[in-house]
Amino acid sequence: MPAISAPAIRARLQARDATVGIIGLGYVGLPLAIAAARAGYTVVGFDLDESKITRLAAGDSYIEAVTSDALGEQRSSGRFTASSDMTGLAACDVVIICVPTPLTKQREPDLSFVEQTARTIAQYRKPGAVVVLESTTWPWTTETVVKDILEAAGGKSGVDFFLGFSPEREDPGNQSFRTVTIPKIVSGDGADALSLVQEFYGNVVERVVPVSSPRVAEAVKITENIFRAVNIALVNELKVIYDAMDIDVWEVIDAAATKPFGFMPFYPGPGLGGHCIPIDPFYLTWKAREYGVPTRFIELAGEINVSMPRHVIGRLEQELDRRHSRSLGSSRVLILGLAYKKNVPDIRESPSFALMDLLKHRGTRFEYHDPHVPVVPHTREHEQYFGLQSVPLTAAALADYDAVLVATDHDGIDYGLVASHAKLIVDTRNAFARRNLATGNVAKA
């Protein structure tokens, strides 16, 4: 079947007469699917997880950024359906890849999800389809890995299909920005591809920002996440230094943030979480080795951030011994917060799991409380905690723990109750001081 010309595809995109396939219905893919459906496109969401397909078919959203009402509206209109049958890609004019890009146990890039998805697209691709990678990865992935797989199956980029990269910029829990209001970086493998990618996203989001090539767009996303990782590592290191000097790092940062120029506040914590910041910098350090370029600054930031859970557990051990003459191994600890950031149920790469591993290794008995994560779901890295349930937060329960370790500062937690009844609180988020609850049983870490 002959390829469809770029002008013909553009006309279909402009008329909203195009079918959009989105592969991967997680924190990135599902909000994008609903946004594209609202823009008037017919959208098919693909995912191999049958439990997701079942829930979506029932109108039950599992992503906070997409309400069940919003999902139901697009399902009722017929503009959104979900499927695990990848043969449906043959009907899609636009195919967007939103699959995970994790690290291996050796902390090297794992592109297996992207590669398998690209092979699936190559098998069922519609002639002239626009294929866009959104998964964060190292520069040149789109123009080498994805392009090579698609061309190896037959066809040429820019003629038989049009390839682009547009990095996701989702921020779970951020009420100030939604998928459609976050400026969208767009790129294409050639002028026609860029034009088509820009046309599609321009119809879905409020602002698109075109760049010259997919590798530039990939570098933009990596740079955004490295910027955060490095600055968080800096304040984490300052926390350790200032703690030794009996200086409150949170007070220092808040005071410094009053400067109207030249300073941007970042805050320390028990480690990094989320899919982006703990992982993405290592995609660049790995790729840089191919060019013989050292990445000492980025790798040092990674080392500091990875070391934070051990620092926190060390602080907990010190406070248990100093205040109550208790050993860590004989203590019972409540971890407050399992999600990687406040007010979301997202547990990807959460430092709470690292804290749990360290406590388990020391023989410490522990439970967790998180109003957003009632039960630990299946995870690739922490399957041993599957099924663990959040415990109720009551005065009697709090009094039974030797310490409460604040890992995530959800707004929905009754910190006054914790302050009144916990024997010892180790606060990694400054949650109690920010609420003027800095009582004598709180130690910052």
CB 121 within 8 A of CB 47: no
Dihedral sign, CA of 235, 238, 240, 245?
negative
What is the rounded distance in angstroms from the CA atom of residue 287 to the CA atom of residue 331? Answer: 44
Alpha helices in 127-258 (DSSP H): 147-152, 191-202, 214-244, 249-256
Output the CA angle 411-425-273, nearest 5 degrees. Answer: 55
92 in active site: no
- Residue 336 pairs in a beta bridge with 369, 406
Q: What is the dihedral of CA 36, 40, 41, 44, to 10 degrees?
A: 70
276, 404, 405, 424: which is the annotated catalytic residue?
Answer: 276
CB 217 within 8 A of CB 186: yes
Residue type, 246: D
CB 274 within 8 A of CB 285: no
How many C-beta atoms lie closer than 10 Å to residue 420's C-beta?
A: 14
DSSP state, residue 145:
I
Q: Cα-flanking dihedrals φ and ψ of residue 75, to 5°?
A: -65, -45
DSSP run (H or E) holding 118? helix 112-124
From its phi and psi, is residue 212 left (phi > 0), alpha (psi between -120 and 50) or beta? alpha
Question: Where in the sequence numbering do the catalytic residues fall?
Answer: 276
